[in-house]
Amino acid sequence: MRSQQHNFYDLIVVGGGSAGMAAAIHAAQGGKRVKVFDAAGPDFDKPCGEGLMPPAIQALQQLGVQIPEASSLSGVKYFVGRGQSAYAPFGRSHLAMGIRRRLLRQSMWLRAAELGVVIAETTADKVSVSHQSVCVNQDTADYLCIASGAHSRVLKDVGLRSSTRKKSQTQRFGLRRHVNLKPWSDCVEVYWRDHCELYVTPVSNKCVNIAILSWQPFQFDHILKLFPEVLAKIDGATWDDEASGRAPLLHRSSRVQSGRIFVAGDAALFLDAMTGEGNTLAIRSGMAVARAIMEGRPALYRWYWLQVVWRYWLLTAPVLLASRHLWMRNRLLNLVVGFPALLRIGVTFLSATPKR
Ligand SMILES: Cc1cc2nc3c(=O)[nH]c(=O)nc-3n(C[C@H](O)[C@H](O)[C@H](O)COP(=O)(O)OP(=O)(O)OC[C@H]3O[C@@H](n4cnc5c(N)ncnc54)[C@H](O)[C@@H]3O)c2cc1C
C-alpha cells in the first residue's frame, strides 16, 4: 500500500556509482521501486585504474548491463626492475577487461533507467532514518543504501562512523590519467618503485589508462619520470585528460548494515586499489543489498557482504602491509619473481567467480 504512494519507494540509493547502480538495478530486476540520488550525473569520470576483474564482468552480465567498448585483458605482468618480470594469465574461461569508467557508468545508468529506476541528479542533502522508514530530501522508502563512495558525509548523517588513517605514513594516494595511444600489450602491467607503483591498463584500441599509487603525496608528471620504460612507450602521444585521483585510499564504515540502512562499495570498505578489485566489490556488494531486501532479511546483508569482501581482505591487507616498508617491498618483489606460482595464485584468487 505504502509503495503505491507517490514519493514512496522500496529502496532509496545515495550514490550512482558502481555500487549504487548495481543495488538499484538488481532491486528493480526483483520488481522493487527504486530511486537513486547522484548530482554528478551519468558522464562523471570517476578516477579509476579501469581494470575490471572476471567477477565484475560476470556480475554486470547478470545485471543485464551492456558492456561498453573495452579491451580484453589476458593477465597481469609485474616488472620489478633489473629487467625482471613475472606474468600470470587470467585463464581462458575468465574474462577480465579494461573499460573507460565513464562508459561503464553510462551503461549502468541506462540499464537502471530501462528497468524503471527513478534517478535524481541531485545531492542527497537531508537524510534521516526512523523505525518505520527512511527519508532522503522529499522522498521516503523502506530501505536506504549508502553507496556514496569513500569518505562519505552521508554515513555521519545517519549515525555511522567512518574511519580513515590520520597519519600520513599509513596513507596511500592514487592518481590516474589517460593517454591517447594504441595499447602495446593486452595485459595489466605493474611497475614497482621504492614508494610507488604504476599500473598500465589498455581500455580501448586507442587509449591506455595509467594509474599511480604511492605511499607519499605526489604530482603525476613528476613521479612519472621514475618510470623511464613507460615514458619511452608513451613518448609523442597526447594526454586525453588531466590527472585525477583520491587520497587517502583507505576507508571503512563502522557498520555495513543497521536497521533499514545498508552500506555498499567504497562507503563500506576500501583498503587499496592495488588488486583492481574496487569495482568488483562495489557491484557485488550492491547486488547483495538488493538480495537481502528481496529476501526480506536485511541483517543477512552482513553475511553476504563478508562473502563479497573476504578474498579482497585476505589478499590486499597483507600485501599492503608488506609494501609499506622498503625492505619488505623488496622481499615481496623477489618472492613474486622468484616464485611466479605465487602471482598465479593471486591472479586465480582475483579471477574466482562466485556462484551467485
Ligand atoms: C587511483 C585509483 C585506481 C583504481 N583502480 C581500480 C581498478 O583498476 N579496478 C577497480 O575495479 N577499481 C579500481 N579503483 C577503485 C574503484 O574506483 C572504486 O572501488 C569504485 O569506484 C567504488 O565504487 P562506488 O560505487 O562504491 O563509489 P564511487 O564510484 O565513488 O561512487 C560514489 C557516487 O556517490 C555520489 N555521491 C557522493 N555523495 C553523494 C550525496 N551526498 N548524494 C548523492 N550522491 C552522492 C558520487 O557523485 C559518486 O557518483 C581505483 C581507485 C582509485 C582511486
User: What is the pLDDT at residue 232?
Assistant: 96
Ligand 1: does its nearest atom lie under 6 Å from the Cβ of 54?
A: no
Say what the pLDDT of residue 5 is. 57
Report the percent of the chain where pLDDT is more than 70: 95
Nearest CA to ligand 1 atom 50: 48
- Residue 155 pLDDT > 90, yes or no? yes
User: If you measure from the C-alpha of residue 230 to the centroid of ligand 1, how many angstroms do you get, rounded to a whole number?
Assistant: 26
Count of residues in the chain:
356
Q: How close is the Cα of 132 to the center of ligand 1, in Å?
A: 30
pLDDT digits (tens, 9 = 90+) for 99-110: 999 999 999 999
The set of cell numbers assigned to 30 is: 526483483
Is residue 38 within 6 Å of ligand 1 at its C-beta? yes
Confidence grade of residue 345 (pLDDT, cut at 50, 70, 90):
confident
Q: Residues 212-238: what's their mean pLDDT?
A: 95
DSSP state letters, 11-58: EEEE--SHHHHHHHHHHHHTT--EEEE-TT-TT-------EE-HHHHH
Q: Does the beta carbon of 246 lie inside 6 Å of ligand 1?
A: yes
Alpha-carbon distances, residue 72 vs 48, 212, 219 (angstroms): 17, 21, 30
The model's pTM is: 0.95
Report the C-alpha gap between 177 and 187 in whole angstroms.
18
Within 8 A by CB and 6+ apart from 314, the residues are: 349
Mean pLDDT of 138-156: 94
Question: Ligand 1 centroid to 255 CA: how many Å?
Answer: 19
Of the pLDDT bands very low, low, confident and very high (cuts 50, 70, 90), residue 342 is confident
Would you list the domain boundaries of the chain?
A: 2-166+248-351
Taking the CA of residue 154 as reference, the ligand 1 atom at the shortest distance is: 41
The answer to whether residues 59 and 22 touch, using CB atoms and an 8 Å cutoff, is yes
Could you tell me if the CB of 276 is within 6 A of ligand 1? yes
pLDDT in the model for residue 24: 98
Q: Is 202 in the pocket of ligand 1 (CB under 6 A)?
A: no
Q: Residue 2's pLDDT band (boundaries 50, 70, 90)?
A: low
Which cell numbers hold the place of 215? 605511499
What is the fold of 2-166+248-351? FAD/NAD(P)-binding domain (3.50.50)
